[in-house]
Amino acid sequence: KSTEIKEIKYGPLSPANRTDEAMVAFRNYGLGQFIHWGLYAIPGNEWEGVSARGGAAASEWIRSWRGPSAPKDWVNTYDNLYKQFNPKDFDAKRWAKQAKDMGAKYVIFTTKHHDGFAMWPTKYSPYNISKTPYKKDIVKEVVDAYTAVGIDVYLYFSVLEWNNPDYMGKEPKTEEEKKKFDKFLKYTRNQLLELMTNYPKMKGFWFDGTWDQSWIKSYDFTYNLEKELREKHPGLIIGSRFRNDEFGKRHFDSNGQMLGDYEQGWERKLPGDITWLEGRDWDCVMTIPPNGWGYMKDWSGIYTKTTDDIIDMLTYSASLSGNFVLNFGPDGQGNMHPEEDKIAKELGEWMKINGEAIYGAKHAGMTNSKLGYFTKKADNLYLTVFNRPVNNIVRISVPKAATEVPVSATLLVNGQMLEVRHSDLGIDLDKNTYYDVLLPKSFQSDRAFVIKMKTGAPK
């Protein structure tokens, strides 16, 4: 890895680790909700009884369904779905209440996915919600309903558009191609400015579909566009997926500096450890099925994550100072999948009791525990226990030289004081010493539970 620092003209446009109010709020969210909703919710990953599984990458990619199973004239059928989009059960207030009860502090909503269909009445394309039987501005309904319950709204925006004749994935070469793509870039800028103007309460963008050469080579345009967006919406938060430097480096520029306010690379995956972090902000976005962000009618035959899986990933993310964003894919009528309703309810019940160990909590810098994950907030140290020791002794490993050690402990769920003892095992080979928190046998829990500790100087 060369250590030579490159001269970069199109590097970061915002300081690392911003300390303004908007960014501090982002840093402390802990839990978010992603919603993928659009025309792809109508087919729900199948058509006339034929599953698109195997023929299309994922539910919201169903327009790209190819191969022997794909229905005849499928793309044309898909592009005309807007004529039947009329979600009779859609109620943004109901979604917002569910998210509030789940404990989400922010929501990321798909204003436009790769199919180019706009969920708001954009002036810049006829392919939008106003042309459907539903007619009304869904983005406005979502922004207003979620903001009203105190959940910050971020707008997902796909740059690439499969249906747009001016879009091309490859780098424009001929004069005609350059003219077309310039028109597309202007259209993109217009839509982004329109979204910020129409929905001034939005807090940021979650960009996607920025991996093609046409966009990557437009680094001068994207640099100036990001600058303009930030100037016109003070405090705006933009992730690392929006643009790249002049050497084509995405997420992090050629000197390893993050290109955006938070790292957006953790999609359906989580960092192995803290080393990559170096104080950066990040979010992990996660589907409940293995893949598939939009609605899927059929969840059979695949592993779909349980509430306990979600709690594990959420707590793990917080233990590495990141936000965890759980995805929901409502159906064509505006209802969440029953499994999503169930998980939202159960997760909310857990967060009501244990959210203190997540919201605003960060990496604790403790020696990893095999029992669960540490988070830290002010002088509180939390251990969320997933693997309860059979002897009820929660042994915490602390470097012998540590100046801060656990000095008292309670169960977060009921405030019960727990005995803490220093068990110096005298193992000379081991630079650590141990503090044991003793769990009462009488305490039982069918989900992960949190031990809240105060730390102080060793006695």
- Minimum separation from the CB atom of position 60 to ligand FHN (A): 5
Task: Say how many C-beta atoms besides its own lie within 10 A of residue 196's C-beta.
Answer: 17
d(CA 302, CA 320): 29
Which residues from 57-76 bind ligand FHN, rule CB under 6 A?
A: 58, 60-61
Which CB atom, from 70 or from 148, has the smaller least distance to ligand FHN? 70
Distance of CA 332 to the CA centre of its chain: 23
Half-sphere exposure at residue 57, Cβ-oriented, CA atoms within 13 angstroms: 6
Q: Which is nearer to ligand FHN, 64 or 354 (CB)?
A: 64
**In this structure, what token pair is assigned to residue 33?**
């909700």
- The alpha carbons of the chain give a radius of gyration, in whole angstroms, of 24
Q: Which one, 293 or 374, has the nearer CB to ligand FHN? A: 293
125 vs 135: CA distance, rounded Å: 15
**Taking the complex as a whole, how short is the minimal distance between the CB of residue 140 and ligand FHN, in angstroms?**
21
> Does residue 406 contact residue 396 with C-beta atoms inside 8 Å?
yes
Positions in 187-216 near ligand FHN (CB under 6 A):
208
* C-beta closer to ligand FHN: residue 159 or 411: 159
d(CA 334, CA 89): 5
Give the total of residues touching ligand FHN (CB under 6 A).
Answer: 7
Tell me the β-bridge partners of 438: 393, 419
CA-CA-CA-CA torsion sign (174, 176, 179, 183): negative
**What stretches of 238-396 show up as alpha helix (H) in DSSP?**
307-319, 338-354
**Which residues partner with 12 through β-bridges?**
none
Measured from the CB atom, the residue of 58 and 296 that comes closer to ligand FHN is 58
Q: Which of 62, 155, 285, 412 is close enough to bind ligand FHN by CB under 6 A?
A: 285
CB of 22: closest distance to ligand FHN in angstroms? Answer: 22
Query: At its nearest, how many Å lie between ligand FHN and the CB of residue 137?
Result: 21
Stretch that binds ligand FHN, among 56-64, 142-150, 251-259, 447-455 (CB under 6 A): 56-64
CB 154 → ligand FHN: shortest distance, Å?
A: 12
**Min dist. Cβ of residue 291 to ligand FHN (A):** 9
Strands, sheet with 380-385, edge to edge from the N-terminal-most edge strand: 372-377, 380-385, 449-456, 405-411, 417-423, 432-438, 393-399
Identify whether the C-beta of residue 44 lies closer than 8 Å to the C-beta of residue 78.
no
Q: Where are the beta strands (DSSP E) in 183-335?
A: 204-208, 237-238, 263-267, 282-286, 323-328
Whether residue 260 contacts residue 227, with contact meaning beta carbons closer than 8 Å, is answered with no
Label residue 50 left, alpha or beta by phi (over 0 means left) and psi (-120 to 50 means alpha).
beta
Q: What contacts 309, CB < 8 A, 6 or more positions away?
A: none
**Longest distance between any two alpha carbons in the chain, whole Å:** 76
d(CA 324, CA 272): 15
Interface positions, 103-162, toward ligand FHN (CB under 6 A)? none
Query: Least distance in Å: CB of 287 to ligand FHN?
Result: 8
Q: What is the nearest approach in angstroms of ligand FHN to the Cβ of residue 294?
A: 7
* CB nearer ligand FHN, residue 249 or residue 377: 249
Q: Minimal CA–CA distance to 206: which of 228, 239, 167, 162?
A: 239
| Nearer to ligand FHN (CB atom), residue 122 or residue 327 | 327
What SS3 state is found at 395? strand
| Residue 101 or 267 with smaller CB distance to ligand FHN | 267
Name which position in 293, 295, 328, 374 contacts ligand FHN (CB under 6 A).
293
* Distance of closest approach, residue 156 Cβ to ligand FHN, in angstroms: 7
**At its nearest, how many Å lie between ligand FHN and the CB of residue 388?**
34
Least separation in angstroms between residue 411's CB and ligand FHN is: 37
34: enclosing H helix or E strand = strand 31-35
Residue closer to ligand FHN by CB (options 153, 394) is 153
Interactions with ligand FHN, residue window 256-275 (CB under 6 A): 267
Q: Cβ closer to ligand FHN: 61 or 127?
A: 61
Nearest to ligand FHN of 197, 291 (CB atom): 291
Interface residue list for ligand FHN (CB under 6 A): 58, 60-61, 208, 267, 285, 293
